[in-house]
Structure 1
Amino acid sequence: MWGVALVAITIGVDRGETNCATPQSNGSSLDPRHWTHFVRIGGYGLSLDRVDAIIRDAVNSHVFGIETDNDIPGRYESFLDPRDKLRAIKAVAEKAHAAGNYAFVYIAGLECITANAAQRPHTLFKDHPDWVQRKLTGEPAVFGGGTAFWIAPGDEDVWISPYASEWRQTYMERVRQIAATGIDGIYVDIPYWMTHFEGWENSWASFDNYTVAAFKKKTGLDARTNIKIGDYTDAGFIRWLDFRVETITDFMREIDHNAKAVNPRCMTIAEIYPGIEEGAPRVGADVYELYPVVDAIAHEYEYGGGDHMAASRTPLDWFGYMTGMYAFRSFAAGKASWMLNYSWDGNKNVDRREAMKNLAMAELMAGANVWDARGHVMSGSNDLETRKLIFNWIAAHEKTFYLPRHPVRPVGIYFSPKTRDYFPKEFIESFRGMMIVLLQSHLEFQIVTPRSMQDFHGEVLILPDVRCLNETELDWLRGLVRNGKALLVTGEAGKYDERLQPRNENPLHKLLAIIDPTREQTSTGPARFIYAPRCPARAYYAELHGHFNDYALQGNYRVASFEKLREQISSEILGLSNSEPAVKIDASPFLSTQIAEVDGKIHVFIANFKGLKSNEVAQQVPERNVRIVFLARRKSKLHVLRFLGEIQELNGEWSHGKMSFTIPEIAKGMVVWCGD
């Protein structure tokens, strides 16, 4: 068998201070250690003869954070001999730094392509069939042209087991060689178990010899014979599901370790498309688990159906995307969230420029970084002049959007990764429904996770059908109740432990003295709670699918059935709290809002989705006469930053320690804050 020839290469890396002075219209003036937080991304195919053109285009279009596509381990030829590509990576890194910019390079995770495979005596699969992921039946994860848009006719596309030791050793050596070029980041694309191509969706791969042996070593179970694939009632399958997520997380951790061992300033970025939904445990790349082991995540996030373009999104789709992005920002815990989403791909009735603006506006309001791309690829632009307009404006106001956002007086909503893993449909419908209630009711929220429990100091915590809780979580919840905090508990919250084992007695029912779990209950003391066994958030989410988009197009919503349910749920949430909200907002449910403290001032980030229609209308109907009330001093003013506009000031009316302001019009989006 033709073995891998490891090419030894020495490439110097400058460990000194990076020159972070940047052109006034192009770069970030902020701390270079945090460049990942302030990127405005454009993508470029990289070869040595294109380096100058790449830097020139990036500077001219206000790109800050240059993605270069020069995949070494994902192409079999360069996996074996990376020297030419390493020279190009080193050159683009040096030129980017000279221009006061940063550059990162794309590499594949567990995928490797051999071009023109039939004409070659050596391909990865021909040389190393044992490295490849497999179904339980033994079928290898080997594909040809047309399986995915990036696989050309005649190509061999294989998906490799992360436990293939010889491959992994060489892969990590390639990571170290790339980091040694001085590149600012290594961007790892879709490190997945093969469950995302047609015919593989329910395979729960991989059952290759390497992976099966690793699972048996860890658990004592034979994955081929001791587990019931896809059966959530089988303890062995639960172990398998967890093992697959742990494997991908460990793989990304090792990439980061190898990169930083050579170049401590080299960032590791993972690109994944699963978000908060069931796809995360299926492919094994769980955004919640990955954030602690990488420096940033690029989310190629897809909510709902269709082509996922901004041009084709409905108003309800936009709220689904906002929910996902706010969850990512919570999981990130201070790290950056990049959005590799797409604006327009030939939608005939939609102005591409408006689609680009809508996408950028929504991402900014969520605190995520914008990536401009053409169609459904990572490079280019649908309209370069619009990119320049948006990126130049972001550069001028980057601190407003990308400095840390801190809670003030939030309503907490709990995201349970284990409940999502084991009850994905039920939990996500409840979580997403409750998040949309909070966004549309303009209530301050804080997404709380097992990692951030101790950082929650609000008065009310919502448990949206959080069925799986471990003892640490339960102890924390007992402490909240003991300290006078209120709970809104829905569905079957607390019924199972973290391994999906049902409890003889529900500990939440015991904590709240719930005798009849079939009956809705409310208590004002000594424990303050609402218990709703039929989750109202799931009902609200279902109600929105009926007529929300029609009402958003019309603008009138007062008589809508979803509005009555929203008012009921939001009123119950407010009734549980012992404190007054820091900000009160009177606006329609077609606006999404986030309230947070930024740089010592309370900000409200507002996105307007009124009047939008999938594939037809990308220009919003303005929201008029929005009233906002802040707890503030008498002489405070409202600072208003319209999307793509300049900061203006509004005067308000002061009464009893509160300032009331009326915003005449909100078109696409706006940020407001109260201060002197």
Structure 2
Amino acid sequence: MSLLRRRKLRRPRSLWIPSDGQSPAPAPPFERGMARRDFLRMGAAALTMGAAPLGLGSLSGAGLAGCLPKGSAAGGIEPDGPPKAPPEHWVRDARTAGFEVMIDARPHELGEQLDILADSGVNVVEADCDLSAYLTNSEFDEQLAVLDLVAYGSHLRGMRCVAYYPTLEVLSAEAATAPHVLSKEHPDWLQIGIDGKPNMFVGGGGRVFWVDPGVESAWTCPLTGYLDYYLDRIRRLTATRLDGVWGDVPLLSDIEGVWPCTNEACRTKFKNDTGMVLPGQVNWDDPVFRRWVLWRHQLIFDFEQAILRAVKSVKASAEAIIETVTMDYNGGTIQGLDGAFAHAGELVRVWEVDAVSDGSAMRGGTADDWICMAVMMRHGSGSSFGQPSWIFTYGREEDDAERVMALAIATRNNPYETKIPLMCTTVGNAYRKRMYRWMDAQKDLYSLPGANRAAVLFSPASRDFLDRNSGVGLYASFYEADDLWWSAEKQDSALKMEYLADYRGTCKALIHAHVPFDALPIAAATPEMLASYKLLAIPSPASLSAATIQMLDAYVTQGGTVIVTGQEGGYYDEHGTARTDASFLRAIGITNADMANTSGSFIVRAKGRGTVAYTAIRAGQAYLQTTEPAMLAQYIQTAEKAGARVTSTAPKEVLMDLRRAPNGVVLVCASMYGLGTRGGGAAQYAQQDTTFRVSIPEEGKTPVRVQFSEPTAGASDRDLPFTRDKGLVSFDLTVRALALVRIELA
């Protein structure tokens, strides 16, 4: 199955802006706007007022200021009331919504829509114009002008604004007859599959509904001349009033292509980088093919970094935001895009966590589907390498949408609220306002440092080499009655994977064991970071560098506890080259007899001042498939001894996260209790509130106050009664979807 996008081509139309730069008298809402040539002439004249243009036909931000309307709300984009300052820490505290910008809209109509967003608590506007299309320079200039205008209106309402711009997919209308079609003008820009075919198709039906009939979807290669073309336009966008550019899914797309890209540019670069000849067929037993799989991650990473540099070269305060649709699953293997591959510096990721159904969102998901979503959200924040992590929170109705957003907030992701399956809509303005206003009231929600004492190590190369793109692994269940279910192919289930199932099942076990944990990509691990954790779970670590093996060995020897599964630990190096044995397992004292013991029982041994808990089977995979109590008991016992677990009577479906406050600790809980317990299907959604007791260490201090907060309609913050015993402060709480508890210690 190919992972599909949720966009529709919107054909360019003319924006109505008064030629004198003043607000006009009211006019019929669909009155024809000024001619394109007049609009561009006005923009070109205004350029003399501002900075030098960045390129032929470009419009600088300063120049566009002369085009903006002034005056009353009847004709201008300004709000009725006094302007508000846009937020300073908007990346960290983002509450995002999509805004479909119609280029023929009048400024006051744009303003009215921005008023709605601002009133609902949005502080970041994702402006979605017509940049998906293969635009001429003059058409692109029209987009610049309207985006600049929307950014101006957003700022006046106390919001930031970023522009959506696809990265490698280009849509050309009337592909059969029009001369201005990307594949006709630049066939050398196309991705080429391993089968030698160009990566393009013409829309006309099926699940690829964002490509209209007769429209060409062409996927380009970032090593061709397309790179200069794209970066030039990125710089021109950044020169407007926009606060950033939102680059959409830089993929080596498998919608039509078969293992792209193998064009001449990629062949040459792979040869120069590795000294190897790019492989001509899929062969996971070939070390050259494995090296190429990893090189494709580097190719996409380098393209992202080029976008970041282009943005910062124009405006240091602007942000480069990359929409990343591949999470932890095998889409990252085949499509190259993998947020866990390397630290992306100042780049901001917005993760598109798809739902089980493009029609009903998560309403028909099973309990394991909800666990898969929770793990992907935890993975998103971890694979943002300390940068703010934004994430889609698709919903169908308020109740399911709230539980998706609860998982996002509890896993330290900033939500992008929208209604399945589109990006520029909402489940409801009242719902959005309720959730976003609550978030705004929690001023330190994303500024507090994490206090989780456990982490799960994620190895993208291990996933590549063990799962071998055998299936997608997005979710667990299937529902044949829903044509918009995420997949109908049984081999795509996450339950069927090797590495992915072990990773997700390990995370599931820790959630069920009430162990607050972080998802930690191997590329993010440092000795200093590992030292902050008491427990490190390392599922099926097949691919590890010698330096990483040494670091993990030192972590254990110096007092850490590790849970290690599988028989391949360290069998491959970081380039995919096979070693003679499982080097990591040898380093931590695992013997041949240990690897032959497939009973599933943890073999627990001391190593230095630390502890190794090992099983030769993929214990996480087994737990994901069975939810076996005996397996969970082993995780609980190990986490308890390591001091990484929260003492609680909560149902196992409650996800917990700890954050360090200056005067104590903050507990955030997201409940999946009751979700999916009656099986999959569009009519099976049910949720239940849950009440339970939690005990948190006093840390040698005196508890002063326990305060409870939730975004439930009509709820207000309240103090909870608490007790003290044996160094613990204990309290009862009831969780509907999301709860935040502040434990003040003096």
Q: Shorter-normalised TM-score: what interval?
A: 0.7 to 0.9
Write the deviation string for residues 62-116 of structure 1: whole angstroms up to 9, x where unpaired. 22100111243x3212467521111111111222122221000011111111122
Alignment of 1:44-83 (within 5 A): 44-46=99-101, 47=103, 49=106, 50-72=109-131, 74-78=132-136, 81-83=139-141
Aligned to 1:311: 363
State the SS of the aligned residue for 1:162. coil
Contact 1:465–1:491 under 8 Å retained in 2 = yes
State the SS of the aligned residue for 1:616. coil
- How far 1:617 sits from its partner (Å)? 5.2
Contact 1:132–1:161 under 8 Å retained in 2 = yes
Contact 2:85–2:156 under 8 Å retained in 1 = no
- How far 1:570 sits from its partner (Å)? 1.4
Structure 1, 601-610 or 167-176: larger mean CA deviation: 601-610
TM-score by length of 1: 0.86
State the SS of the aligned residue for 1:573. helix
Q: C-alpha distance in 2, partners of 1:381/1:417?
A: 33
Aligned length: 625
- How far 1:619 sits from its partner (Å)? 5.0
- Are residue 453 (structure 1) and residue 526 (structure 2) matched? yes
- How far 1:143 sits from its partner (Å)? 1.3
Of the three residues 498, 503, 514, the one matched with 1:442 is 514
Write the deviation string for residues 121-158 of structure 1: whole angstroms up to 9, x where unpaired. 33111222222122233322221123621111121221
Q: C-alpha distance in 2, partners of 1:163/1:213?
A: 10
State the SS of the aligned residue for 1:500. coil
Aligned to 1:651: 721
- How far 1:445 sits from its partner (Å)? 2.1
State the SS of the aligned residue for 1:423. helix
Of the three residues 554, 566, 572, the one matched with 1:491 is 566
Q: C-alpha distance in 2, partners of 1:327/1:518?
A: 31
Of the three residues 304, 319, 324, the one matched with 1:267 is 319
Q: C-alpha distance in 1, partners of 2:197/2:300?
A: 21
Structure 1, 478-487 or 263-272: larger mean CA deviation: 478-487
Q: C-alpha distance in 2, partners of 1:61/1:660?
A: 36
Contact 2:515–2:645 under 8 Å retained in 1 = no
Contact 1:608–1:620 under 8 Å retained in 2 = no
- How far 1:447 sits from its partner (Å)? 2.9
Aligned to 1:3: none
Q: C-alpha distance in 2, partners of 1:209/1:474?
A: 37
Aligned to 2:632: 566
Of the three residues 298, 304, 310, the one matched with 2:350 is 298
Q: C-alpha distance in 2, partners of 1:25/1:502?
A: 65
- Are residue 217 (structure 1) and residue 260 (structure 2) matched? no
- Are residue 257 (structure 1) and residue 288 (structure 2) matched? no
Q: C-alpha distance in 2, partners of 1:370/1:330?
A: 15
**CA 1:359–1:462 in structure 2 vs 1: closer, same or farther (change >3 Å)?**
closer
- How far 1:187 sits from its partner (Å)? 0.6
Write the deviation string for residues 649-672 of structure 1: whole angstroms up to 9, x where unpaired. 112221233222222x22222121
Aligned to 1:347: none
Aligned to 1:528: 611
Structure 2 counterpart of 1:56, which letter?
Answer: D
Of the three residues 401, 404, 409, the one matched with 1:356 is 401
Q: C-alpha distance in 2, partners of 1:581/1:250?
A: 37
- How far 1:582 sits from its partner (Å)? 7.4
- Are residue 415 (structure 1) and residue 458 (structure 2) matched? yes
Aligned to 1:43: 98
Structure 2, unmatched stretches of 5+, are 1-54, 64-78, 468-496
**CA 1:399–1:138 in structure 2 vs 1: closer, same or farther (change >3 Å)?**
same
State the SS of the aligned residue for 1:597. strand
State the SS of the aligned residue for 1:539. helix
Aligned to 2:213: 153
Structure 1 counterpart of 2:668, which letter?
Answer: F
**CA 1:411–1:362 in structure 2 vs 1: closer, same or farther (change >3 Å)?**
closer
Of the three residues 392, 402, 406, the one matched with 2:437 is 392
**CA 1:528–1:61 in structure 2 vs 1: closer, same or farther (change >3 Å)?**
closer
State the SS of the aligned residue for 1:207. coil
Q: C-alpha distance in 1, partners of 2:195/2:560?
A: 52
- How far 1:629 sits from its partner (Å)? 3.7
**CA 1:161–1:631 in structure 2 vs 1: closer, same or farther (change >3 Å)?**
same
State the SS of the aligned residue for 1:120. coil
Contact 2:57–2:138 under 8 Å retained in 1 = no
Q: C-alpha distance in 2, partners of 1:585/1:325?
A: 23
State the SS of the aligned residue for 1:412. strand
**CA 1:650–1:60 in structure 2 vs 1: closer, same or farther (change >3 Å)?**
closer
Aligned to 1:506: 582
- How far 1:596 sits from its partner (Å)? 3.1
- Are residue 542 (structure 1) and residue 625 (structure 2) matched? yes
State the SS of the aligned residue for 1:177. helix
Structure 1 counterpart of 2:695, which letter?
Answer: I
**CA 1:282–1:581 in structure 2 vs 1: closer, same or farther (change >3 Å)?**
closer
**CA 1:307–1:507 in structure 2 vs 1: closer, same or farther (change >3 Å)?**
farther
Contact 1:583–1:628 under 8 Å retained in 2 = yes
Contact 1:27–1:64 under 8 Å retained in 2 = no
Q: C-alpha distance in 2, partners of 1:150/1:431?
A: 33
**CA 1:568–1:531 in structure 2 vs 1: closer, same or farther (change >3 Å)?**
closer
Structure 2 counterpart of 1:438, which letter?
Answer: L
State the SS of the aligned residue for 2:149. helix
Which structure shows the bigger proportion of residues in helix conformation? 1
Aligned to 2:56: 7
Q: C-alpha distance in 1, partners of 2:693/2:725?
A: 18
- Are residue 477 (structure 1) and residue 552 (structure 2) matched? yes
Of the three residues 682, 689, 704, the one matched with 1:622 is 689
Q: C-alpha distance in 2, partners of 1:440/1:63?
A: 33
State the SS of the aligned residue for 1:76. coil
Structure 2 counterpart of 1:622, which letter?
Answer: D
State the SS of the aligned residue for 1:639. strand
Alignment of 1:118-137 (within 5 A): 118-137=176-195
Q: C-alpha distance in 2, partners of 1:168/1:612?
A: 45
Structure 1 counterpart of 2:624, which letter?
Answer: Y
Contact 2:199–2:260 under 8 Å retained in 1 = no
Contact 1:26–1:392 under 8 Å retained in 2 = no
Contact 1:270–1:294 under 8 Å retained in 2 = no
Structure 2 counterpart of 1:361, which letter?
Answer: A
Contact 1:463–1:488 under 8 Å retained in 2 = yes
- How far 1:305 sits from its partner (Å)? 7.4
- How far 1:598 sits from its partner (Å)? 4.0
- How far 1:316 sits from its partner (Å)? 2.1
**CA 1:430–1:581 in structure 2 vs 1: closer, same or farther (change >3 Å)?**
closer
Q: C-alpha distance in 2, partners of 1:534/1:569?
A: 14
Contact 1:253–1:294 under 8 Å retained in 2 = no
Of the three residues 593, 596, 601, the one matched with 2:656 is 593
- How far 1:275 sits from its partner (Å)? 0.2
Q: C-alpha distance in 2, partners of 1:659/1:358?
A: 28
Alignment of 1:82-231 (within 5 A): 82-145=140-203, 146=205, 148-165=208-225, 167-195=226-254, 197=255, 200=257, 203-223=258-278, 227=279, 229-231=281-283
- How far 1:628 sits from its partner (Å)? 2.7
- Are residue 403 (structure 1) and residue 422 (structure 2) matched? no
Of the three residues 601, 625, 638, the one matched with 2:706 is 638
Q: C-alpha distance in 2, partners of 1:331/1:467?
A: 19
Structure 2 counterpart of 1:531, which letter?
Answer: Y
Q: C-alpha distance in 2, partners of 1:26/1:317?
A: 44
Structure 2 counterpart of 1:480, which letter?
Answer: Y
Q: C-alpha distance in 2, partners of 1:281/1:440?
A: 29
- How far 1:381 sits from its partner (Å)? 1.5
Q: C-alpha distance in 2, partners of 1:171/1:23?
A: 38
Of the three residues 253, 261, 281, the one matched with 2:333 is 281
- How far 1:218 sits from its partner (Å)? 2.6
Aligned to 1:671: 740
Contact 2:377–2:407 under 8 Å retained in 1 = no
- Are residue 320 (structure 1) and residue 372 (structure 2) matched? yes
Q: C-alpha distance in 2, partners of 1:10/1:75?
A: 19
Contact 1:249–1:293 under 8 Å retained in 2 = no
Structure 1, 497-506 or 122-131: larger mean CA deviation: 497-506
